[in-house]
Amino acid sequence: MTIFSRIIAGEIPSYKIAEDEQFYAFLDIHPMSKGHTLVVPKQETDYIFDLDDTLLGDMVIFAKKVAKAIENAIPCKRVGMMVVGLEVPHAHIHLIPIQKESDMSLANQKLHLSAEEFEVIAEKIRAAF
C-alpha cells in the first residue's frame, strides 16, 4: 500500500482539498508554492499512463476543478500542472500556483509551512471548490 493510499484511507493525516468516488486532492507537505496540491486516483496505479483512458480523462477533469478553486483562493497568474511520477509509486498530478514558469522548477527550494498555515490554505481552497 502506497503512502497516498494510506492518506486516502485516513491512516495518515492530510490537508484534504476535495474528494469524490474516484479521486482525492490534498496539499503537498513539501510545497513548491502555497497551495501546491496533489490529485491522486483512489485506484492504486504506479504510472499515470497505465490508467485506463476514461479514468485518466476523469482525473484531468477533477484536477481542473481543483485548479480553478486554487486560482480563486491563492493569488497567482496560473496554476501549473506537472506529472513526474518517480517519487511515489502512485499516479498523481501536481497543481502548483505560479507567477512565472521558473516557479515549476524541481530545483527550487521547497517551502516550510506550519500546520496552521497549511490548514488556512486548505480551508481557503476548500471554500472555493
Q: Specify the pLDDT at position 85.
A: 81
Distance of alpha carbon 16 from alpha carbon 36, whole angstroms: 12
pLDDT tens profile 27-48: 999 999 999 999 999 999 999 9
Reading the block at residue 28, the C-alpha cell is 503537498
The domains of the chain are located at: 3-128
- Taking the model in full, what pTM does it have? 0.96
Q: Specify the pLDDT at position 93.
A: 98
- Which residue among the candidates 30, 36, 90, 92 is catalytic per the annotation? 92
* Domain 3-128: CATH architecture, name and number where available: 2-Layer Sandwich (3.30)
Verify whether residue 92 is a known catalytic residue: yes
